Structure formats: C-alpha cells, structure tokens
Structure 1
Amino acid sequence: MADPHDEPAPAKRSEDTQTTTSPPKDTVIIEEGDTLLVCADAEELGKLRVSSIILKHTSPVFKAMLGPHFAEGQVPCSVLHPQELNCPEDNWHAMECLMQLLHHCKSWLQDDLCDNGTLKRLIGLGAVADKYDCIEAIFLQVDTVFAHFKNSHIAAGAYLDVNSDSAGLRNCFDLAIAALHFEKDSYFYFFTKRLVVDFVGPYSSVLTTRPGSGESALSLELNIRLKLEEQRNATRVRIGEHIPSLALVSCLVCGPYQHKSITFMPAFEKAIKLETHWPPTFSSLSIRTVLEKLKNVGNIERRPVCGHHGSLVRKAREFEDFAAEVYNSMAGMCSRCAKAGSFTTGSCGVSGHWVPTAHWKDGI
C-alpha cells in the first residue's frame, strides 16, 4: 500500500529531455581524400576532406606535419580510413578556399568579386596560405583578383566623395594587407601609394583587430599606418608651403630683398576655384585632387608692391612641373621590408627586392 506522504514523481518536462544532434557533414574537397582537416568551428561546419598527396606537394609545412617526425605522419591513412589533421587556430572558411585552390576546385574567387565580404575573405585566405607556405602554389589564381581590384579602381575614385571615403579607405587598406600576405610586391606598393594619394580620412579608422590575428599582425598594420600618415602629412605641408613662396618677387632697384606680391594669392585661389584661403582643406580634398587643380591653374600674375616693374607672371608650366614632382616623390612601400620590420616608402635599395622601374606604370 502506497505511503500517503509519498509524492508522485514529477512528469519529465520536454526541456529536461536531451536531444541529440547529428554531427555536421564533412565538406568533400576531393572524393579520393585520405585526410580530414579539423579547423576552428569544425564542430559546427564539419571537417574538410582533402588529399595528403596534394598537401605534401604544395605546402612544406603540411609536408612536415604529415612526415615521419609527427604523429599524424606515422598513422596509415586511406580513403576508407582517413586521418585527422588538427588545425584549431585556422579559420574554417579560409582553409576551405585554400584547399579548393590547391585541389583546383571552384571557389569564391570565381564568384562576384564586388561582394562586400570579398576583401575580408581575401585577407583570411592570405593569412592561412602564408602560414602554410603555399603562396607560390596559388600565386596565379590569386593574381587575377588583385588585377581586378587595381583595374576597376574599386578602392577609390579619382575625385572622392568625402562621405564614402571611410569605406574606400578600408577597402584600399585591406587590399594592401592582403597583397602583403600573398607577397604581391607591386600590388602592395600600388595600394599603399593610393592610401596616401587618394584618401583624406584618418588611417586610425582602419586599425581593427581581425579574427584570428595576433599582436604581431596588429603591430605590423600599425607601423604601416604610421609610415603612410607620416608621408601624407609631409606631402600636405610641402604643397601648402610651396605655393605662397611663388608670390615672392625680387626687385633690382630695391636691392636683394624679396617682396611678396599682394595680387598673386587671390588670383591663384580664384584660378583653382578654392572656396577657402590657401592652404586647401586637406580634410576634404585628397592630395590627388589638389595636384589635379595645380595642373590646370594656368598663368598667374605677380605684381610687385614697389611698382618698379610691370606685371610678372608665374607660368602654368611651373605649377604643372611642381604637381608632377610632388606626385613622383610619393611612393608605396616595400612588402619584403615591411614583413621584416623595416617600414620605408619608395625604393628600399635592398638587393633582390621589388622596385618600380622606369617602364612600370602604377596606373594611378
């Protein structure tokens, strides 16, 4: 007979019932794959089935990991019994794309490159390819991506809308970092030069911690940003100080002293259609825009204050030559030096490093 004080067991609630979910399916890069890569988020996205033969032939790092000196290389593997290779620090999507390229499969590189996530994925791919030393194996496949962005000028236009400058600045900086990962020396030079020539916003806005990036990567980006900011500021100062110096006039009658023409600057500001007084507002005008204005100034009259001479003229050629000189003095950075911790712009002078030749056109 049941004890009246005994309480009936509570009914099992639905939330108390543990539901088991099946593990995610593996992503098959190649059907004959005998190796499963276990990357970050593999519990949610599954493993990557790849060929150990291709890994060994395309990556010295994978070759060592699958060699006799590591546990993974001592385990026999086959299509029926694939071995697992743990890569817990590597982004799953970046590794998937890398494996697709190494195995000559279709990847997002064949899709619309104007997608918003393209540059983020490109940097992730570059970081993984650099880590496993297989940049050379995918060099040509990736080259078409950089050529697309260089030729389409997606990073920025010749004349910038200030409101869209931040997005363009981020795009151009991402392309520079991706080019650095992929050892694309000429493209790194190209995009770092564009950062100086085309953009007005602060470079600090693009300094963010990327998923999976460590302190060394952040330090690298910081040093690149600081060097480019230094070059941009120096160029702005040079332009700002040079134009007023053209207003000085020498008079043989007055002696060796130079007089400042009071008509030169107003005439100059009118000629370039400057809404404010010189120097220009560089926070809203890119260096490219200012140089383009200088190339189209024309002749500017300088009338001496003393009255001993008639009108003197600064020829249009003087402004054109100065604009060309300033533009040519601006330079991108050497990718190999940047990776080695030396941050300089222009020719580094190191033997074997890429430098722009007389026949190379940056297309800017």
Structure 2
Amino acid sequence: MKEGRGRKRSADEAFADDPQFDKIAPDGVVTFILDEGKMTVRVHSAIMKNASPVFAAMLGPHFKEGHALREGGCEIPLPEDDGVVFAWICRVLHCQNDTYSWQPEPKEIVQVLDVAEKYDLSKGILLSVRVWVGHQLEHTDTSDLWSLLLACHRAQDGDSFESISRKLLLSCAESFVQLAADTKDAGRTAYRLAATLEVSRNEVLSKIFWILHVDLPDAIRGYPCRHDENPNPYCMMNVQAGMTLHLHHNDTSRSINQGVDLVLDALSKLCKHTIDCEPCIKYRGAMCRSIHYTCVNIEEKVKGLCLACFDRTSTGKCTNEHGKSLVAPRPVGYT
C-alpha cells in the first residue's frame, strides 16, 4: 500500500470538523481523503466492508489500514478518484433515500459506475444508478443518450436500456459507429451495440424511403380521371407537380423521425394543391390518409433493444425466448 494510507488519528483529530459530506457518518471511524485533501468523507467501516470486497480486505487484519482502524480510526487517501462522485456513492450506501437528493449528469453517472467497478461496489449502488438514469431520460441530447445507454448496459437496467435505445433509433441521425468511436475506452460491446442500432435503424429507414420514392409517386400517378377520354388537365398538372415534391430530399443521413417527417411534409404540400375533380379529390384524400397511417404505424412499431437478448444473441434482436440459451456456437479460436 502507498505511504500515508492507514495513518492513526488521535481522538481529537478523529472527530474534527470536516468539509462537505462529513455528515454521512459523523461517528464513523474511516475517513477518505479526496481531491488532494480538499474533501473528506467519513463513513462507517462496517458498511464499506459489507458493500465492497476491496474495502473489506483493505480494512482487514492484513493491511495497515486495518491495523490503524483497530487502534481508533484511519484516513485513506484516494487521490485518483473524483471526490463528489465517490462521496455520493458512500452517501447512498449509508442511506438509500439519499439517492433522490442528487441528479447527476450522464457523465457523472458513468463516473459513478467507473468508481463502483474499481472498488467492487456495483451491487450496492445499481438501484441508485437506475433512478439517476431515469431522471435523465427526458433531458438529454443524442450524445448523452448514447452514454446513458452504455451505462444501462453496465448497470444491467433492462427497462431503461430498451427505452433509451428506442429513443436513439427514433431521434438520432448520427452514425452510431461514430458515436462508439468517440467513446472513451470503447470496447467490443460499444461497437456491437452501435452495429445493432445501425442495422435496426436502416431497416426502418429503408421502408420509409420506399414509401417516399416508390409508393407515394405510384399513388400520385394513380389519379382516377387519367382513364377518361378527356382527363381533367388540372389533375394532370397536379400529378406533375406532386411528383417533384420530395425529389430534393436526397440526404439519407436522417433519423427515423426525420424520415417520417419527409413523407408527411410531402403529403401536406400535396394536399395544398387545389383540384376541382370530385373523384380525384376523394382519391387524393384517401391516398394521403393511407400513407400517413402507414408512416405513423411504422414509427410507433419501432422497438428498443432487449438487454437480455442483446447480451445472449449474435444479432442482438429480441427473440422472446429469454428462458433459453440463445448464443450461437462460435468457431474454434473465436474471440
């Protein structure tokens, strides 16, 4: 252990006034020194030992911190850890209700998980992490949603994992692979998650662009009076105008919501064209309603990723067979 750890404190020194977070355990006998001595966090040794095998060993009989603890109390410097994040972890370990007193940003939630994994504290704070993630769901942009999704995977929060992945699929126009590439210390899980989201989004976008560039033009060309001996010239003009409504929309780097908006925008412009042919008016109204319903239905049916199936299948898609082993056999030598 590093020098300075486990220093014995006198009785007066042990209960001297400490900075913020000292009220976590005023009569605790273990004090963590954080942020280069600017913050101290006093805790009960029994709670920390019970929550973490790392601290159970550190405060046991084989380390100097444990010897100092038996003689009245000890200070443990943790210079590499964020003081506020570590202090809040200690606070929720001592009182779960304090979870609701803090609303960490997505970056801080990731830091909480980093510290919790470092000291094997994850089991004690996972419920708190899920609460904090829930608070952030409605107030984050795409990059933060990506961070939260990775945090949900680490915390094994299936409900939030599904909700956030659905929100990303609907609202994100960025490359998921690029988001993974921009993630600090991104591992295989981040890239696999990005690939799964890319495939899911592209499947839906392909349906939307088919409607925009195939179904909609076919429907516009299908106006009833085209079969008449003397078709209404205004209907023909509307067909020609309608066929160009969406042609400038050639950027495929769009979210699902944006793709649906392209179709609905084209329908809205089409309906603003005036015609005086009763059969064509009825036809256009029915056609627009049908395509509108189809697009909205596609949007509503977008599902988030199932955490259990993402972890247990090669495709990441939900099979609704959660009671079975779903991992496909891997070739010899596969890593």
Q: Tell me the TM-score range normalised by the shorter chain.
A: 0.5 to 0.7
Q: 1:191 aligns with which of 156, 160, 164?
A: 164
Distance 1:189 1:345 in 2: 12
Give the conservation status (yes or no) of the 8 Å contact 1:300–1:315.
no
* CA separation of 1:315 and 1:206: change in aligned 2, threshold 3 A: same
Distance 1:193 1:54 in 2: 38
Higher fraction of helix: 2
Give the conservation status (yes or no) of the 8 Å contact 1:75–1:83.
no
Structure 1 range deviating more: 229-238 or 289-298: 289-298
Q: 1:318 aligns with which of 268, 285, 290?
A: 290
Summarize the alignment of residues 16-31 of structure 1 with structure 2, pairs less than 5 Å apart.
Answer: 28=22, 29-31=24-26
* CA separation of 1:61 and 1:222: change in aligned 2, threshold 3 A: same
Distance 2:315 2:65 in 1: 40
Segments of structure 2 that go 5 or more residues without pairing to the other structure are 1-17, 228-235, 272-278, 326-335
Distance 1:176 1:125 in 2: 15
Residue of structure 2 in register with 1:281 after alignment: 251
Distance 2:39 2:257 in 1: 48
Residue of structure 2 in register with 1:122 after alignment: 109
* CA separation of 1:80 and 1:66: change in aligned 2, threshold 3 A: closer
C-alpha deviations, 1:133-165, integer Å up to 9, x for none?
Answer: 544533454444333223xx222xxxxxxxxxx
Give the conservation status (yes or no) of the 8 Å contact 1:332–1:346.
no
* CA separation of 1:47 and 1:352: change in aligned 2, threshold 3 A: farther
Quick one: which amino acid aligns to residue 197 of structure 2? Answer: L
Give the conservation status (yes or no) of the 8 Å contact 1:36–1:82.
yes
Q: 1:220 aligns with which of 178, 189, 212?
A: 189
SS of 2:69's equivalent in the other structure is: coil
Matched, 1:97 2:97: no
Segments of structure 1 that go 5 or more residues without pairing to the other structure are 1-24, 156-167, 255-260, 271-275, 302-309, 354-364
Give the conservation status (yes or no) of the 8 Å contact 1:57–1:63.
yes
* CA separation of 1:184 and 1:130: change in aligned 2, threshold 3 A: farther
Deviation at 1:80, TM superposition (A): 2.8
* CA separation of 1:170 and 1:74: change in aligned 2, threshold 3 A: same
Give the conservation status (yes or no) of the 8 Å contact 1:180–1:335.
yes
Residue of structure 1 in register with 2:143 after alignment: 170
Quick one: which amino acid aligns to residue 105 of structure 2? Answer: T
Quick one: which amino acid aligns to residue 182 of structure 2? Answer: T
| Sequence identity (%) | 18
**Aligned residues: CA RMSD:** 4.4
* CA separation of 1:35 and 1:248: change in aligned 2, threshold 3 A: same
Q: 2:42 aligns with which of 49, 58, 61?
A: 49
* CA separation of 1:194 and 1:121: change in aligned 2, threshold 3 A: same
Distance 1:32 1:333 in 2: 46
Q: What TM-score results when the alignment is normalised by the length of structure 2?
A: 0.63
Distance 2:299 2:318 in 1: 12
* CA separation of 1:106 and 1:44: change in aligned 2, threshold 3 A: farther
C-alpha deviations, 1:176-198, integer Å up to 9, x for none?
Answer: 22222332211111112211211
* CA separation of 1:133 and 1:334: change in aligned 2, threshold 3 A: farther
Residue of structure 2 in register with 1:154 after alignment: 139
Quick one: which amino acid aligns to residue 184 of structure 1? Answer: D
Matched, 1:200 2:179: no
Give the conservation status (yes or no) of the 8 Å contact 1:330–1:346.
no
Deviation at 1:73, TM superposition (A): 8.3
C-alpha deviations, 1:227-271, integer Å up to 9, x for none?
Answer: 222322332222112333324489xxx9xxxxxx9976853764x
Residue of structure 2 in register with 1:232 after alignment: 201
* CA separation of 1:288 and 1:83: change in aligned 2, threshold 3 A: same
Deviation at 1:290, TM superposition (A): 3.3
* CA separation of 1:30 and 1:81: change in aligned 2, threshold 3 A: same
Q: What TM-score results when the alignment is normalised by the length of structure 1?
A: 0.59
